[in-house]
Structure 1
Amino acid sequence: MTDTATTAAGRTPLVALTDVAKSYGNVRALHGVSLDVHAGEITCVLGDNGAGKSTLIKIIAGLHPHDAGTYTVEGEEVRHASPREALDRGIATVYQDLAVVPLMPVWRNFFLGSEPTRGRGPLRRLDTATMRATTRDALLRMGIDLRDVDQPIGTLSGGERQCVAIARAVHFGAKVLVLDEPTAALGVKQSGVVLKYVAAARDAGLGVVLITHNPHHAYLVGDRFVLLKRGAMSGSHLKKDITLDELTREMAGGSELDELTHELSRTPAAPEAAAAAEPETTA
């Protein structure tokens, strides 16, 4: 559901999906999903495996078109034909695998596909000095101080690679940053570092979509929460309207969790049965 009160107040979302649906043959992957992404805010999309998070990412990123509903960018209805078209509209997506070349240096990966050049004709060559300096400056502006931008990006930790990808999106003018489970394979400390830079992207004025199955990480940085279950929305909340415990409980299934807890709880043995189970002692 779009936040009509906020929209009525005069804030047009950077991205808005309304009752979006997507099917693959007879398989309904998404149905009736709505969300708003505002500048300077983080919209968290939560759900377990199979909830429809990946399909939602692909629609926002322009990889797959939606079958029903509306998708607007800054108030204009769109139907992206490719990820490049979405990127041209300022929507950058960082997937879990990051699409980096491990053996290439950090600066080379930072400019991968957008390399500046010097000279003309047969003398045209990569402007490596500019790329090195720009990469270093862009990372420092995000508060990322790498040891050396010449080191292969594969030697960085998972958290550091995520941070480089975030800084790259900010540098190249993204308005909306979509992050696919950025903390999924990371430890507690690295997850904290990544969330710090997710918040930095928000503070830089970007609208952020954070896809995650971890309600604790979402609640640390999120402003809005959309919960998916089996391809449909099971909840949509502003942070001021929900606590972490309520968010965790709603994501876990609420009444389903209560039923499971009851099934798994131990029933105390009756006193007579407990006494009968005790071995007799001999004097």
Structure 2
Amino acid sequence: MPRFALKVEYDGAPFAGWQRQADQPSVQGAIEDALARLEPGPHTLAAAGRTDAGVHARGQVCHCDLVKEWSPFRLSEALNYHLKPLPVAIVDAARVGDDWHARFSAVERRYLFRLLMRRAPATLEAGQVWQVPRVLDVDAMREGSRHLVGHHDFTTFRSVMCQAQSPVKTLDEIRIDAVEGPAGPEVQFRLRARSFLHNQVRSIVGTLERVGAGSWSPEDVRLALEARDRAACGPVCPPYGLYLAGVGYPEDPFSTDA
């Protein structure tokens, strides 16, 4: 059976998350239903990461096994036709080897979090950013974030429902940029690691926002990390500013040279 990798973009607002749900809409369920319109099912997708309810993606990656030897272009076009009008798009597709796996072959995940700083309610960007009514100290947040980069026990920054066997992870990068977004000044957080714990990104961003607002000092981030206690974490920010921006593989399956 030929295996295909799919690069997926979606607005997470209408969904209960990536993972298929018995009684709620999911991104996985939407794509599997579209696949069933192309070939008799059932179909089961494997994804690089399971985003939570309300979380978006610009570069989610999943794979599926089909019977027919589709051309990647025709497969993506057919899926997009059957996905309408849902806010889900297959932006690329590629034929991959039988041993290639969207989750287990991945070597890094990249997340983007958008925080809008303005008092007036967001309208066109509603549901796409986390909005705070104050200007944040970006330099202070950068200083606080330096305590989190590297190999650490992230117990403080993971959900109590996290199913990972260990809280120890290596966070390769946190980049914090002040940019002028379409609705006003934004702080954009970009985090990169091989893998993340449940709610790790939202816990980190929520904590760093407290630093930017002046409620925490940068040193408080170090103390929270070293506490290894969920109660020491700052507020967990809402999901709708978070995007799975991309997934890295030893060889990019979507590259024309792959």
| Both structures adopt the same fold (TM-score exceeding 0.5) | no
Normalized against structure 2, the TM-score is what? 0.24
Q: Which has the higher strand share?
A: 2
Structure of higher CA gyration radius: 1
Task: Return the TM-score normalized by structure 1.
Answer: 0.23
Q: Indicate the structure with greater helix content.
A: 1
